[in-house]
Amino acid sequence: MSRSDGIWQEVGKYSDRKKIEQDITALLNQMELFEDLSNRDLRQITQIAYRRFYAAGEAIVIEGQDAAGMYIIMDGEVEVTKELEDGSVVRLATLDSGNFFGDVGLIDNSPRTATVQAVRDSEMIGFFRPELLKLMDSHARLASNLIFTLAKIVASRLRFTNRKLQEAQSEIDQLQTTLDALQVSETDQTKLATEIV
Amino acid sequence: MENQSTTQAKVRPADSIDVLTETLLPLSTTLAEISSSNQTLSRESRKQTQGIQEQNIFLRLISITMMIVFIAILVSLIYLIRDTLTIIMISFLISYILAPLVGYFEGLGIPRPLAVTGVTLGILAGFVAGSTFVVTKVADQLDHLQTSQNQALVGQVEQVLNSLPPALQTKLIELLRVEINAAESSLDTQQVIEASTKRVEELIVGQSKQIIGATKGLFSAFINGIIVLFTSFFFLSGGREMKKAFMRSIPNRIFEPVLVLLDGIDHQLGDYLRSRVIQTVIIAVICLVGYVILGLPFAVILGIIAGLANLIPYIGPFIGAIPAIVMVLVGSRFGLGTSLVGIAIITVGVQIIDTALITPLLIGKSVELDPITTVVVVLVGEQFLGLIGMLMAVPLTAMLKLICQELITQFKGYSRSFTYGGS
């Protein structure tokens, strides 16, 4: 390989990197998490992003492991599963391109609450807490915007979970009432049977 | 049942013993054969085990030898390229120290390449200005010292000569003859003067050579300084890309733990290095103030030396005080005794302030090294890189300790989370 080939290869790599960065910026631009950020801010965010490739069946995050950040699915499909106390595994969701997961990992390092596995060969964009904290030092406004949006998403999820919990509670109450009514009718039936006998 | 018992009763005891003996004999023979073959087998297995053990010991010896050879090659390689390594290490440390400043400018909206260039140019300007100031100041002071000393010496010689009787003056000329060359003691006064002039010329040539040597040293240090700055520039501007390139080579399974580990090391190292810089500056300033009060020449340089020498634990402060003691002999505001006491007070006082206030507040106990390790690493540093090695030995060892601590912490957390996750 001549020297000029090496130079052109480097130029090629540089332009590839620029193209990838543009693709990532375009993807981030469409996401709720980054909707309040300017293009310049998005380019900054792209600087701290890591592009990772996962083969089908490979785990991206593992339940119980300390969280370090979040992932956006750039291309591919993943499955979110949870291990129950009896050891059985339940599937919680299937996510595809444009979706993200593990966002709470950007805020703290508490253990992951579910396992995420690639269903087919997938390309991810990862953002990690250490890099975000560094960004806070140099770009405080950008980082606070991002964390505020993240907090809004988490709050909205919390509201959704609360609503679901309330619904579940009211269903339990209804079931309890039905059960009580059934028990009363059972007692009545027993009394009636005793009287007949 | 009854028939059987009758038949059994009819068998004589002697017959049954014969039958038993006949049955047992082949059995005992077989047992003996089995036992013998067992013994053979066990001997063979013992031999085999011994062979395997010997083989294992041999393999272990080979691996230990190979490891020793590898370490020796590595150490030799490090020793061979120690100058380049020193430049790289210093550049790395400088880029680490300057990184927050670049981050600060980035935060003000200045693009990173511009921020890095600005910071590097600022440091370059400071370095050039500092070098020029130091060189000019040293040259001025040396010139002043030489002139004043020469004048004082000439005056003193004139005074002495004038006060001497003519007979003693002749004797002094004789002594000069001896001083110039014992073999040429038959020279007349004119020749003595000529020979003295020649001697002075020789002395001047010798001094010029020394000055050229010193200039070469200064020039080389200046060039190395410029190289260090450029390398630091590349570390600062390309550091993020270097990290990304490294992370690309990390397998997915351990990607997150490695990222967290690097961040932990980065934090600890950054904090430690910046603390050491602040510590050095504080000590240099305190010493500078003390030396200025004592009226020592080159107080700024003496302060910087004291601050830097403080990086070497235990003996560093005393090494740092030596140039100040030498300068007391050259000139001071107070008498020799008072100045020496003053330097002792400054050195001890700075040590007390450093031990009681600066180190606990800035650096903390986590990176403290025990005295034996400290002495050993300082000696090893001296062996490898001389004075720079002595200065860098403790910070580098402390950095290594921090990296190991962080590795252990992360590894424990990683294995715990794996156990918790059941994967």
Give B58-77 pLDDT, tens digit per residue.
Answer: 888 888 889 899 988 988 88
The residues near A122 (Cβ < 8 Å, ≥ 6 apart) are A53, A54, A56, A60, A73, A75, A76, A77, A78
Query: What is residue B423's predicted lDDT score, i.e. its pLDDT?
Result: 35
Which amino acid is located at A105 in the chain? Answer: G
* A157: number of Cβ within 10 Å: 12
The residues near B366 (Cβ < 8 Å, ≥ 6 apart) are B402, B405
Assess whether pLDDT exceeds 50 at residue B192: yes
Q: Which residue has the tokens 């996962």?
A: A54
Assess whether pLDDT exceeds 60 at residue B307: yes
Of B255, B420, B421, the CB nearest to A52: B255
A138–B106: do the CB atoms touch at under 8 Å?
A: yes
Assess whether pLDDT exceeds 90 at residue B46: no
CA distance A60 to chain B (A): 7
Average pLDDT over residues A57-71: 90
Does residue A77 contact residue A96 with C-beta atoms inside 8 Å? yes
Alpha-carbon gap, residue B330 to B214, rounded angstroms: 20
Query: What is residue A15's predicted lDDT score, i.e. its pLDDT?
Result: 62
Q: Which tokens is B344 given? A: 């002792």
Alpha-carbon gap, residue B138 to B301, rounded angstroms: 9
Structural domains of chain A, count? 1
Local structure of A55: helix, strand or coil: coil
CA distance B121 to chain A (A): 20
Average pLDDT over residues B121-145: 76
Alpha-carbon gap, residue A71 to A67, rounded angstroms: 11
A50–B418: do the CB atoms touch at under 8 Å?
A: no
Flag the least confident range among A43-47, B246-250, B289-293, B405-409.
Answer: B405-409
Assess whether pLDDT exceeds 70 at residue B11: no
Average pLDDT over residues A92-101: 90
**Long-range contacts, B48-54 (Cβ 8 Å, 24+):** none
Instruction: Give residue A137's pLDDT band: very low, low, confident or very high (50, 70, 90).
Output: confident
Assess whether pLDDT exceeds 80 at residue B283: yes
Assess whether pLDDT exceeds 80 at residue B293: yes
Alpha-carbon gap, residue A40 to B355, rounded angstroms: 47
Alpha-carbon gap, residue A58 to A70, rounded angstroms: 17
A172 within some domain: no
Highest mean pLDDT among B6-10, B64-68, B121-125: B64-68
A98: left (phi over 0), alpha (psi -120 to 50) or beta: left
Average pLDDT over residues B89-107: 84
Alpha-carbon gap, residue A14 to A20, rounded angstroms: 10
A177 within some domain: no
Task: Confirm or reject contact between A130 and chain B (CB < 8 A).
Answer: yes
Share of chain B above pLDDT 90, in %: 3
Average pLDDT over residues A31-37: 79
Average pLDDT over residues A18-40: 79
Within 8 A of B423 by CB-CB distance, chain A residues are 59, 62-65, 115
Alpha-carbon gap, residue B206 to B209, rounded angstroms: 5
Of A54, A64, A130, the CB nearest to B421: A64
Q: Which residue has the tokens 């969701």?
A: A93
Of A50, A83, A112, the CB nearest to B244: A50
- Residue ranges covered by each domain of chain B: 83-249, 253-416
Of B107, B247, B259, the CB nearest to A68: B259
Residue-wise pLDDT tens digits, B22-43: 777 777 787 788 888 888 888 8
A8 within some domain: yes
Helix (H) or strand (E) holding A72: strand A69-75
Share of chain A above pLDDT 70, in %: 91
The residues near A79 (Cβ < 8 Å, ≥ 6 apart) are A91, A93, A94, A95, A116, A117, A119
* B328: number of Cβ within 10 Å: 23
Interface probe, candidates B96, B241, B256, B423, chain A, greatest A C-beta count within 10 A: B256
Q: Which residue has the higher pLDDT, B185 or B343?
A: B343
Alpha-carbon gap, residue A126 to A49, rounded angstroms: 6
Does residue A58 contact residue A50 with C-beta atoms inside 8 Å? no
Give the sign of the dihedral formed by CA B70, CA B73, CA B77, CA B79.
positive
Of B107, B259, B422, the CB nearest to A83: B422
Q: Which residue has the higher pLDDT, A36 or B168?
A: A36
A69–B240: do the CB atoms touch at under 8 Å?
A: no
Average pLDDT over residues B363-371: 68
Does residue B393 contact residue B381 with C-beta atoms inside 8 Å? yes
- Portion 219-248 of B in contact with A at CB < 8 A: 240, 244, 247
Assess whether pLDDT exceeds 70 at residue A107: yes
Query: What is residue B5's predicted lDDT score, i.e. its pLDDT?
Result: 46
The residue segments making up the domain with residue A89 are: 3-160
A197 within some domain: no
Q: Tell me how many degrees the CA angle A24-A30-A34 measures, rounded to the nearest 5.
A: 80
Of B247, B266, B420, the CB nearest to A64: B420
Q: Which residue has the higher pLDDT, A163 or A147?
A: A163
Highest mean pLDDT among A42-46, B197-201, B403-407, B412-416: A42-46
Alpha-carbon gap, residue B375 to A162, rounded angstroms: 62
Assess whether pLDDT exceeds 50 at residue B7: no
Highest mean pLDDT among A19-23, A52-56, A86-90, B146-150: A52-56
Alpha-carbon gap, residue B95 to B114, rounded angstroms: 15
Query: What is residue A176's predicted lDDT score, i.e. its pLDDT?
Result: 92
CA distance B114 to chain A (A): 14
Assess whether pLDDT exceeds 70 at residue B136: yes
Instruction: Give residue B422's pLDDT band: very low, low, confident or very high (50, 70, 90).
Output: very low
Query: What is residue B225's predicted lDDT score, i.e. its pLDDT?
Result: 82
Query: What is residue A169's predicted lDDT score, i.e. its pLDDT?
Result: 93
Average pLDDT over residues A22-49: 81
A171 within some domain: no
Does residue B99 contact residue B115 with C-beta atoms inside 8 Å? no
Local structure of A87: helix, strand or coil: coil
Helix (H) or strand (E) holding A100: strand A100-101
Assess whether pLDDT exceeds 70 at residue B190: no
A193 within some domain: no
A100-101/A115-118 β-pairing: unpaired
Instruction: Give residue B4's pLDDT band: very low, low, confident or very high (50, 70, 90).
Output: very low
> Average pLDDT, whole number, for chain A?
84
Assess whether pLDDT exceeds 90 at residue A172: yes
Q: Which residue has the tokens 């059960």?
A: A179
Helix (H) or strand (E) holding A50: strand A50-54
Within 8 A of A81 by CB-CB distance, chain B residues are none
Average pLDDT over residues B90-94: 85
Assess whether pLDDT exceeds 80 at residue B350: yes
> Average pLDDT, whole number, for chain B?
77
- Portion 155-194 of A in contact with B at CB < 8 A: none
Assess whether pLDDT exceeds 50 at residue B398: yes
Instruction: Give residue B365's pLDDT band: very low, low, confident or very high (50, 70, 90).
Output: low
Q: Which residue has the higher pLDDT, B201 or B258?
A: B258
HEC-encoded secondary structure of chain B:
CHHHHHHHHHCCHHHHHHHHHHHHHHHHHHHHHHHHHHHHHHHHHHHHHHHHHHHHHHHHHHHHHHHHHHHHHHHHHHHHCHHHHHHHHHHHHHHHHHHHHHHHHHHCCCCHHHHHHHHHHHHHHHHHHHHHHHHHHHHHHHHHHHHHHHHHHHHHHHHHHHHCCHHHHHHHHHHHHHHHCHHHCCCCHHHHHHHHHHHHHHHHHHHHHHHHHHHHHHHHHHHHHHHHHHHHHHHHHHHHHHHHHHHHCCCHHHHHHHHHHHHHHHHHHHHHHHHHHHHHHHHHHHHHHHHHHHCCCCHHHHHHHHHHHCCCCCCHHHHHHHHHHHHHHHCCCCCHHHHHHHHHHHHHHHHHHHHHHHHHHHHCCCCCCCHHHHHHHHHHHHHHHHHHHHHHHHHHHHHHHHHHHHHHHHHHHHHHHHHHHCC
A56 within some domain: yes
Query: What is residue B160's predicted lDDT score, i.e. its pLDDT?
Result: 61
A156: CATH:
2.60.120.10
Share of chain B above pLDDT 70, in %: 75
Alpha-carbon gap, residue B176 to A92, rounded angstroms: 104
Query: What is residue A20's predicted lDDT score, i.e. its pLDDT?
Result: 76
Query: What is residue B312's predicted lDDT score, i.e. its pLDDT?
Result: 79
A64–B255: do the CB atoms touch at under 8 Å?
A: no
Quick one: which of B197, B176, B193 has its CA closest to B185? B176
